A and B are shown apart, each in its own frame.
Chain A
Amino acid sequence: MKCRELAEFLMDYVSGELPQESRVHFEFHLSKCKNCHEYLVQYEITVKAGKIACDELSDELPDNMPDDLVRAVLAARKA
């Protein structure tokens, strides 16, 4: 398996969907190739970073509904 294929199979590997045989090749390449190992690590961090950044509890509090929008919604319901 080349770096190119490894990059292609990355998502299936991370989600545990890569079939056993491909996984063996994948992990063998990974054990030899530092660059692909780093790429895998960064790919996983990227997914986590997106989740954390958009976690509503971190910044975007659930109660930040602007008052004028509340009024607009309620007015539209009656319209």
Chain B
Amino acid sequence: MASSTPVDDEATLIAQLRAGDEAAFEQVVRLYGGRLLAVARRIVGSDEEARDVVQDAFLNAFKSFDRFEGNAKLSTWLHRIAVNAALMKLRTRKRKPEQSIETLLPSFLDDGHHEERFKSWDEPIDKIMERKETRELVRRQIDALPESYRTVLVLRDIEGLDTEETANMLGLSVNATKIRLHRARQALRSLLSPHFRSAAS
């Protein structure tokens, strides 16, 4: 357990980290670990690998506190390190052949009209999402997206990175990133549709 009183002043905490204070390290891990675990979990898609990612992220962070600039927020800085560690994990793991996204995209008739007639999702979004099981369902459907699309959707729509940052992190062009995000959103819509329709009936 922490031997000293937890500090809520970030500047003090950072000074203690730089001084190698063991209790400060523990405080940071306890304070931000859960959040980083959630971020890692969303990117790598498995609990087991997310744990490795969090460990890597903290070790990277502890090694580079000298490069932490005082005007950034510690949480934002750690978040970025965790995202990088998670992407690194994806790059090093054996690639599974990726499932095609085509079947989850809208299809069109020769005259350019949608093939599908979209049934409305009647219930307001805030109401649907109030239910824990719906939130779990949405997370499962995000996990079900093909990896290269899921990653873009998570970085852009959930972790809040902008298109350029996302493109840089993934080694993609801005245009390719935009196309993937759009397809990922369309695919997620298709995956949610049967559930959101039935929720409204």
**Chain A interface: which size bin?**
35 or more
* A2 and B112 contact, CB distance less than 8 A: yes
* A65 and B189 contact, CB distance less than 8 A: no
* B185 and A43 contact, CB distance less than 8 A: yes
Given A39-B106, A54-B158, A70-B29: A48 touches B58 (CB 8 Å cut-off): no
What is the bound-complex CA distance between A41 and B120, given in angstroms?
A: 9
Q: Give, as a whole number of angstroms, the nearest-CB distance from B19 to chain A.
A: 14
* A35 and B117 contact, CB distance less than 8 A: yes
Within 8 A of B (CB), among A1-60: 2-5, 7, 10-11, 35-36, 38-39, 41-43, 45-54, 56, 58-60
> Chain A residues with Cβ under 8 A from B153's Cβ?
50
> Chain A residues with Cβ under 8 A from B54's Cβ?
69, 73
What is the bound-complex CA distance between A39 and B32, given in angstroms?
A: 38
> Chain B residues with Cβ under 8 A from A61's Cβ?
34
> Chain A residues with Cβ under 8 A from B29's Cβ?
65, 70, 73-74
Given A45-B196, A58-B135, A65-B29: A73 touches B188 (CB 8 Å cut-off): no
> Chain A residues with Cβ under 8 A from B37's Cβ?
64-65, 69
Contact of A73 among B33, B178, B181 (CB under 8 A): B33
> Chain B residues with Cβ under 8 A from A5's Cβ?
112
* B120 and A38 contact, CB distance less than 8 A: yes
Within 8 A of A (CB), among B1-38: 22, 25-26, 29-35, 37-38
Given A70-B30, A77-B59: A35 touches B118 (CB 8 Å cut-off): yes
Given A3-B108, A49-B129, A73-B54: A11 touches B135 (CB 8 Å cut-off): no
Tell yes or no: B128 within 8 A of A by CB.
Answer: yes
* B26 and A74 contact, CB distance less than 8 A: yes
Within 8 A of A (CB), among B107-161: 108, 111-114, 117-121, 125, 128-129, 132, 134-139, 142, 153-154, 157-158
